[in-house]
A and B are shown apart, each in its own frame.
Chain A
């Protein structure tokens, strides 16, 4: 796994987080929360574009043609595979996973790679408001199951204690390794990570997850623009053909 692989994972996760946020833009508990869901969705979709844009200057773009046809080639956490059905799932993702992505971006900004130091810094300012939103809703109390799942997947995102993320920390590419990132997330959320068992032998280092599966067909179709084509006027498809 290279630094580009890590950045692509962040980009894909930010894209999926943005889409899942946007799905709640008319379903959140209040008008303000609707607007916040839409705004955070736009932010994270924008962040994903910036992250994709870093792949070329990093010298290696790990995106393969598979991404056109195989949903499992998108490197998102399992948490984003399916649309969320409960507000608690939104809040757990907002508080724990969005903050975990921010912690990883902090590790990139604090590391030795210039393009990441410069391009990712602005994200940290925007993410402050995502964090305030997530932490406040988290304090109001949510179901335990999505929270536990979000923590588990955040720790899987950071990677195994002695894996390549730790190697990148040791050589200065990243300013934090898995242990430091976990501690930073705990500090931010003012709580200890719950006891979770992670089967690292099942962990996919590219997708940074242990669970099999992939995003749902509808979302994959939307990402590929296939859903859009479905609604195109027949004259347009004839002209295109």
Chain B
């Protein structure tokens, strides 16, 4: 949840982070996020939303599965 209390996720939906890269030599980087009730739909949404560029790889990760060591404002 953001500081102003806004939450994109409602009901059964889950937030997924979308990562992509344009060339094999590039690292994967965060390009955005999608909200979906399951991984299948999240893949379809990620591809539809972020397919403008010619990515050679795209991956999604459940945001809840990301283990944060620290976050902005904590150090």
What is the count of residue pairs linking A and B with beta-carbon distances less than 8 angstroms?
A: 46
Residues of A within 8 A of B48 (CB): 32, 35-36, 38-40, 129, 133
Bound form: Cα–Cα A217–B51 in Å: 34
B44 touches A30 (CB 8 A): no
- Residues 40-67 of B, flagged 1 when their CB comes within 8 A of A and 0 if not, give 1101110111010000000000000000
**B20 close to A (CB within 8 Å):** no
Q: With A35-B49, A39-B51 in contact, do A133 and B35 touch (Cβ < 8 Å)? A: no
A132 touches B49 (CB 8 A): no
The minimal Cβ–Cβ distance linking B29 to chain A, given in whole angstroms, is: 21
The 8 Å CB contact of A32, one of B38, B40, B45, B51, is B45
B35 touches A32 (CB 8 A): yes
CB pairs A–B below 8 angstroms (6 shown): A32-B35, A32-B36, A38-B48, A39-B47, A39-B51, A132-B44
Q: With A35-B49, A39-B51 in contact, do A129 and B44 touch (Cβ < 8 Å)? A: yes
Bound form: Cα–Cα A111–B43 in Å: 30
Residues of B within 8 A of A132 (CB): 40-41, 43-44
B51 touches A136 (CB 8 A): no
The minimal Cβ–Cβ distance linking B9 to chain A, given in whole angstroms, is: 11
Name which of A32, A33, A38, A140 has the most chain B CB atoms within 10 A of its CB: A32
Bound form: Cα–Cα A188–B38 in Å: 18
The minimal Cβ–Cβ distance linking B42 to chain A, given in whole angstroms, is: 9
Residues of A within 8 A of B34 (CB): 32
The minimal Cβ–Cβ distance linking A43 to chain B, given in whole angstroms, is: 9
Bound form: Cα–Cα A31–B38 in Å: 16
The minimal Cβ–Cβ distance linking A207 to chain B, given in whole angstroms, is: 30
Bound form: Cα–Cα A132–B47 in Å: 11
Bound form: Cα–Cα A139–B48 in Å: 20
The minimal Cβ–Cβ distance linking A45 to chain B, given in whole angstroms, is: 14
Given contacts A32-B49, A40-B48, A135-B40, 4 further A-B contacts (CB under 8 A): A35-B45, A132-B44, A137-B41, A139-B38
Bound form: Cα–Cα A135–B35 in Å: 17
Residues of B within 8 A of A139 (CB): 38
The minimal Cβ–Cβ distance linking B53 to chain A, given in whole angstroms, is: 14
